[in-house]
Amino acid sequence: MKHDIRKYSPAQLKDWFVQNGEQGFRAKQVHEWLWKKSAHSFGQMSNLSVPLREKLETAFEIRPLTVSTEQRSNDGTIKSSFRLFDGNLVEGVLIPALRSDDQDRMTACVSSQVGCSLTCKFCATGYMDRKRNLDAAEIYDQVVAIDRQAKTNFDAPLTNIVYMGMGEPLLNYKNVLESVDRITSPDGLGMSPKRITVSTAGIAKMIKQLGDDEVKFNLALSLHAANDQKRDQIMPINESNSLDNLAESLNYFYRKTGTRVTFEYIVFYNFNDTLQDAKELWAFTKKVPAKVNIIEYNPIAEANFMNTDPQTLDKFAGFLDSKGVTVNIRRSRGKDIDAACGQLAGKEKAI
């Protein structure tokens, strides 16, 4: 049985080479091909001899994901359906800066699980079963593929990565952190961790773990309601991770890392868009050092929620702003191809 070579650490690779009569420094060469150069076959490793490449081919396999389909939005967003080695599908999105923006931002939105187990009522992925976690290399491959799309289509590299695609990243903790290590390592893609944001629906003990691990990336909480009764209705995870517990864990994270959290807040029509809701959100921001991103709702077939009207949205954001809260309104991108926040569902059939 062949082993997945990208699951081997540099030390394990070196041991394998030595045990198989090869020089240990070859491990460093192979590691560079796998992570820095993103090689997807041993045949690409041109500074290795043909017999050594054949030996590697016999013992190991590389399990790259492939782009199965690509859809382009009218606003420039590109959604990809990625096929994994076992036939499962996940989706990832390239979000280029709008022409009106001053910054040359290129953002990759990547998935961490096939499906999801959290059943958030407004999210298409939440209506899928969770089939499995992605391994670190599968997350890494999404970034590599989306970076290639950015360079091909916009002549610019990725500037930011958000773990906001399919799945709950903190329920795939080990692989998510390993993927960040690969992406930020000088031996990998060499991106700054401050360009990476991991978004969670709110798992208090894992947020504390992030603090203990003193991670350098940014953390976002999908909040969407600042009282437990409303949040219970749309996010069942809140029943075991109440707002008080989340506030405690987020403050612990802040003390350990010094990184201010971002609250993501989708404003649903006639549900969480009143002045009272805004006051509750303001009160919650006083418990945790945070900024707020207000997000437009993107309709899905499985749910009956609607986006609030522009006037209500402006009043909501205006109240927070008047109280000194750092607040941004995030306009949806890629709605026409189901690539916007909450719409990813891997709709193409898996083999």
Which residues are designated catalytic? 91, 341
Backbone torsions φ then ψ of 241, nearest 5 degrees: -140, 75
CA distances from 185 to 29, 88, 182, 267 (A): 16, 28, 5, 37
Cβ atoms of residues 313 and 294 within 8 Å: yes
Tokens of 209: 């773990």
Residue 3: other Cβ atoms inside 10 A: 12
Contacts (Cβ under 8 Å, ≥6 apart) of 264: 199, 220, 221, 222, 223, 224, 293, 295
Round the CA-based radius of gyration of the chain to a whole number and report it.
Answer: 21
Cβ atoms of residues 161 and 143 within 8 Å: yes
